[in-house]
Chains A and B, each alone.
Chain A
Amino acid sequence: MFATLRIALMAIRRNVLRSFLTMLGIIVGIAAVIVGVSMGTGAKAEVDKRIAGLGQNLITVMSGNMSRGGVRGGFGMAPNLSIEDFDAIRQEISQVTAMSPEAGTTAQVASGNQNSSVRVSGVSDEYIDARSWALKSGENFTAADVRNASKICLIGATTAKTLFGEGIDPVGQSVRIKNAPFTIVGWLEAKGSGSFGQDQDDVLLVPYTSVMKRLSGDTKFRFIFVQAESPDAIPLVQEQLKELLRRQHKISDGKDDDFMVRNQQETSDFFNANNRIMTVLIGFFAGISLVVGGIGIMNIMLVSVTERTREIGIRLAVGARGRDVLLQFLAEAVLLSVLGGGVGIAVGYWLAPLLTQLFQFPTLISQSSVILAFTVSAIIGIVFGFFPALKAANLDPIDALRYE
């Protein structure tokens, strides 16, 4: 075994340039596999991170139903979750640690001579808990503020920067939302861009009662966020939510829901569907390039067998069995493709971060993809090396010795 490998290595060293060119196909293929899979995993990790950023054990109830047959209403429909729905959830569903509706509107917000168009979200006092959002300074508003529709707000990091400047604590300051003065009671930590790509920090959080009464006049919510007390409780809470809302909305049996209840896993699957298609596509092209690389190896091995017919003759004459010659050429093919695979992996490791740097494309090299790439290259060596090796092993020693 060791001797066979040594002979194979010697043969490869004898013709470095050709060996390298032979490996090139495999190098490109394996590098493509590594980079492609790393793009897939990177994108998925990014989505998962953002979804997790929504909050822990979070269940989202959305108005409308995107998957309803025929009419694809979805987000475009008028909000249809009411305060009664929200109160019913609060009263009837246990195993919930925090919940909040969201009544959003976009409004002109001004402070001093600065002004900006900002998303104003009407939420309950439990909202920042449900979404695991921390305060940099100040404090959250209270249930009493919600009851009283107080004119107070929490300010997002981006909005604070726009209106008050970098690094200045805005707590205690006042902003005018549609010309109504609101006092800032809390400054939110930066959260980064959200799962839809928007800036989550360009926001004002206001008691939902204030939004409805003073700003938008809406009476319905687009979202209700519910935080289950543990991951195990999620399915049960989801089930209860569906049942309760169908009852609330008086949907008779057999009719579709006019709302959607999604947990984070489902939301993540929804966004990852595209990533999966991309991964499969890249995998497909990488596969083609690996097959081409394999054919390249077979080609060179066939040339090599012909070129070294005399050498094979000598080996057979001094007592090599057909199997010894077969193993030697097979080892050479496998060594070539595995070396190519190794270089390909290295190129992939170098290329993936470069891709992230140049195109801001998230990449993540998983260990399993490296193992996969290595195994695949070994298998390619065996598959495409077998035919030339068999040809070598079946040579007649007399003819081989006479070959010029």
Chain B
Amino acid sequence: MPAVIQLEDFHKTYRTGEIEVRAVRGVNLIAEPGEFVAIMGSSGSGKSTLMNTVGCLDRPTQGKCLIDGVDIGSLSRNELADLRNRKLGFVFQGFNLLARTTALENVQLPMLYARPRITVSEQNRRAAEALELVGLGERMDHTPSRLSGGQQQRVAIARALVNRPTLLLADEPTGNLDSRTGIEIMGIFQKLNDEGMTVVMVTHELDIAHYCKRIVVMRDGLVRSDAPVTARLNALEEIQKLEAEQKAVQLNP
């Protein structure tokens, strides 16, 4: 089984007019199947650039980036699109759902572009299944405006899962959510990871990063530290703790 992500001396340089921005300057990183990686770093550290390349939205200027054994540097725009469609699932900070479109239709979106084509009934079945998985089985016909932030992010996760990807990429998935909802979302990621899904997420928050198994810290386009999480948090336990605290507050006003 090849590594899900394999970066070899990965460089990315942007050119805006005269100025050259060396966003990433030589990163080596391997993520094996079943890993759960948090990428941390301040803004400008190069983590977004790294995510864009790993997400096959961009190609390295220098070095190699292999996704599930495929070198994306040699792929055309269309081949990159197909790779994103088959192997990657995206979860964004701002949810990025289509407005005035039901949850079910939002989840179906990646299947519209699947090759070979998926029949409409199969699309409906799989989308419903994915929504059940994130606990939104009863709100399939709701549009994003009628869903809370946490629910919207669940729809986004269902959308990311619906084409059965090998890698789930999340860019600050809890950034727009309150802490309790954030923990719930991390609970979903932990459950998926327990079932074998490889997850890579970017986050600012150290306590959120502690739900992962490995933390990679970047600064100035380089990896500064890469270590397994020692005191790993369990989302289910944390939520139970929160609930216990709330009860205690209610009992002793």
Contacts and interface: CB of A to CB of B under 8 A. Distances in A.
Nearest to A324: B113
Given A319-B84, A398-B57, A314 B98 contact: yes
Interface in B169-205: none
Nearest to A319: B85
B57 A318 contact: no
A321 B90 CA distance: 16
Interface string A303-329: 000000011011111111111100000
Contacts, number: 58
B146 interface: no
A321 B79 CA distance: 9
B220 interface: no
Contacts of B90: 317-318
A14 B114 contact: no
Contact of B98 (A311, A319, A397): A311
Interface residues of B, number: 25
Contact of B113 (A311, A313, A321, A397): A321
Contacts of B58: 398
A3 B98 contact: no
Given A319-B84, A319-B86, A401-B96, A314 B109 contact: yes
B52 A319 contact: no
Interface string B64-106: 0000000000000110011011100010100010101100000
B2 to A, nearest CB: 21
B98 A317 contact: no
A140 to B, nearest CB: 76
B112 interface: yes
Contacts of B63: none
B159 interface: yes
A22 B109 CA distance: 27
B110 interface: yes
B221 interface: no
Nearest to A310: B96
B41 interface: no
B55 A317 contact: yes
Nearest to B81: A321
A273 B184 CA distance: 80
Interface in A369-404: 397-398, 401
Interface in B7-24: none
A277 interface: no
B224 to A, nearest CB: 24
B110 A318 contact: yes
Nearest to B156: A314
Interface in A312-355: 313-324
Nearest to A3: B112
Which of B52, B98, B110, B120 is most buried by chain A, counting CB atoms within 10 A of its CB? B98
A310 B97 CA distance: 10
A318 B159 contact: yes
Contacts of B120: 3
Contacts of B85: 318-320
Contacts of B100: 14
Contacts of B84: 317-319
A317 B78 CA distance: 12
A320 B113 contact: yes
A123 B100 CA distance: 80
Given A317-B55, A317-B84, A322 B110 contact: no
Which of A7, A311, A314, A320 is most buried by chain B, counting CB atoms within 10 A of its CB? A314
Contacts of B81: 316, 319-322
Contacts of A314: 96, 98, 109
A323 B101 CA distance: 22
Contact of A318 (B77, B78, B113): B113
A397 B57 contact: yes
A14 to B, nearest CB: 5
B28 to A, nearest CB: 23
A88 interface: no
A392 to B, nearest CB: 14
Contacts of A3: 112, 120
A10 interface: yes
A313 B97 CA distance: 11
B92 to A, nearest CB: 7
A319 B57 contact: no
Contacts of B57: 316-317, 397-398, 401
A318 B113 CA distance: 8
5 contacts: A315-B109, A318-B90, A318-B113, A319-B81, A321-B113
Given A314-B96, A317-B96, 11 more contacts: A3-B112, A316-B57, A318-B109, A319-B85, A319-B86, A319-B110, A321-B77, A322-B78, A397-B57, A401-B92, A401-B96
